[in-house]
Structure 1
């Protein structure tokens, strides 16, 4: 008698025609990665000074503490709050007046977890975020020295869900946990950046402010969806539904540069990524981005990066 056959069917849903998303495009070209590296538990009177060399992203898992960073007053942090510090020393403390100890001493025995002070009043999870791609400067130049993202109600906050998942993975220690933790931290950083865009003063956001202006956002989506198109002011103004003069002024006020200039620079960002991450020839990349000759492509690339496409790829 034949043995019964067990069949497992996996359903895969493919989402097509995902709309262009300028922030996702910039993040993709920024080489965003995250490493969930530290868990700190502290209690009593305590203060630690951190000296990061990259973007540090941390979240308060439990309890409360204070953040002291250069250029901003002391900030009280509560459970669920996140903060980003851009490569500068900062202090975490039970009270702003407590003298700080170098965190390197506390983490000397274990670089990934430490207990400091007396008790476990507060717990934090955090790690490093790196932006190393061709568009990294597009984001790094706009981020202030420190950003604090306040917790939202748990039922409406993706950050709260991600924090729960991150805590479970960190504690479980299952196979692949480090990769999962890194990906969760990366997602948390993106959500924190999105919340920063939605809640910050427009004047402090640079080109990101354009994402909050529907006509300008429509033009940005079109530029990012077709980087090889020879965009003109009339064409972009028509997409925004505005006159050319009004659109040009509004775009410059929101983004900080003229529409055609932004389109040309974005084309070069895409070119740089393809030079770095693909085996396509320089001529092929030039043609894919709408250039009629290698010479024209080389001149445009050199204006932005200061070197030829070939030199950029070799470096």
Structure 2
């Protein structure tokens, strides 16, 4: 077998630099008249396995969910219930006896399985700023995707209680989140997607792949326009409309996102990281890094280490 480098994939790159992790943590069954309020500190990603319920937040209108629907709530309190008009019980009280499994109300008309998604890396803001307060992926949209199979696998693994099951469940939930994000990109109006819309525009996507494949290169507008197969003016306008910033600015900012991840994920010196990203001096690297992150590379590394040691 011949091993080859995988082609550049901007979404995978951003997810990696965003520090995407998932933890499958909750199975809820409920019935009768019921409503529960959740107060997450991370993104919540859940799937309705059976039945239906309502999802409500202070920022959005109530949404009716049915079996097979997935939803993501971006770090805000939300209520699940049989009727959005019902007063809600605090979910923490219901899960007080078991942090992972709970039954509420009368019967088991509805079942949900899900957990938390953490985005804690240097590119977390690249995604968090683009996700709506509530993202719902309908079951009809998932029928041709792996999501139904992944849900079945997650349910079986959760119930089996086998060695290593928690790791498998976390990985399955992570895959489900990525597939839900893909469907969001494919089915949402480009105007609301921010830079993600560029992945749906072939010339812009070609430029994005090139930038992500070679972050150490100092990209010029002419070179990127040639890759996209457009004139410089047409490419610049198209890229900015799709991504929200010019191609050269995007390339420079992405270079600094990669620099931040290398500062956090390796013991390499600042000088070595600067050289690996094509800078001829530490001073030039420091100035470029400070423009994007607001602090020097050394300060960024120290502050991140301090935060990791004392997250509160």
Name 2:153's counterpart in structure 1. Answer: 165
TM-score normalized with structure 2 length: 0.95
Name 2:228's counterpart in structure 1. Answer: 240
Greater mean alpha carbon deviation, residues 251-260 or residues 145-154: 145-154
Residue among 2, 11, 14 paired with 1:26: 14
Matched, 1:284 2:272: yes
Name 1:176's counterpart in structure 2. Answer: 164
- In the aligned structure 1, how far is the partner of 2:3 from the partner of 2:160? 32
Greater mean alpha carbon deviation, residues 68-77 or residues 190-199: 68-77
- In the aligned structure 1, how far is the partner of 2:148 from the partner of 2:3? 26
Name 2:48's counterpart in structure 1. Answer: 60
Name 1:141's counterpart in structure 2. Answer: 129
TM-score normalized with structure 1 length: 0.94
SS at 1:83's partner residue?
strand
What is the RMSD computed on CA atoms of the aligned residues? 1.2
SS at 2:27's partner residue?
strand
Matched, 1:98 2:86: yes
Name 1:190's counterpart in structure 2. Answer: 178
Asked whether the equivalents of residues 24 and 169 of structure 2 are also in contact (C-alpha less than 8 Å), the reply is yes
How far is 1:20 from its partner? 0.5
Name 2:310's counterpart in structure 1. Answer: none
How far is 1:205 from its partner? 0.5
Asked whether the equivalents of residues 141 and 183 of structure 2 are also in contact (C-alpha less than 8 Å), the reply is no
Name 2:115's counterpart in structure 1. Answer: 127
How far is 1:262 from its partner? 0.2
Asked whether the equivalents of residues 46 and 112 of structure 2 are also in contact (C-alpha less than 8 Å), the reply is yes
Aligned length: 303
Name 1:9's counterpart in structure 2. Answer: none
How far is 1:76 from its partner? 1.2
SS at 2:209's partner residue?
helix
Name 2:308's counterpart in structure 1. Answer: none
SS at 2:139's partner residue?
coil
Structure 1, residues 167-209: CA drift from partner, whole Å, max 9, x if none? 0010000001111111111111111111111111111110000
How far is 1:153 from its partner? 7.3
Unaligned runs of 5+ in 1: 1-12
How far is 1:15 from its partner? 4.9
Structure 1 runs (4+) greater than 3 angstroms displaced? 152-155
How far is 1:102 from its partner? 1.1
Asked whether the equivalents of residues 251 and 259 of structure 1 are also in contact (C-alpha less than 8 Å), the reply is yes
Unaligned runs of 5+ in 2: 304-312
- In the aligned structure 2, how far is the partner of 1:177 from the partner of 1:301? 41
Residue among 145, 152, 156 paired with 2:140: 152
- In the aligned structure 2, how far is the partner of 1:232 from the partner of 1:38? 48
Asked whether the equivalents of residues 70 and 145 of structure 1 are also in contact (C-alpha less than 8 Å), the reply is no
- In the aligned structure 1, how far is the partner of 2:231 from the partner of 2:144? 39
SS at 2:151's partner residue?
helix
How far is 1:97 from its partner? 2.2
Asked whether the equivalents of residues 154 and 161 of structure 1 are also in contact (C-alpha less than 8 Å), the reply is no
Q: Which has the larger radius of gyration?
A: 1
SS at 2:76's partner residue?
coil
Name 1:219's counterpart in structure 2. Answer: 207
- In the aligned structure 2, how far is the partner of 1:14 from the partner of 1:190? 28
Residue among 30, 39, 57 paired with 1:51: 39
SS at 1:250's partner residue?
helix
Q: 1:262-273 maps to which residues of 2 (within 5 A)?
A: 262-273=250-261
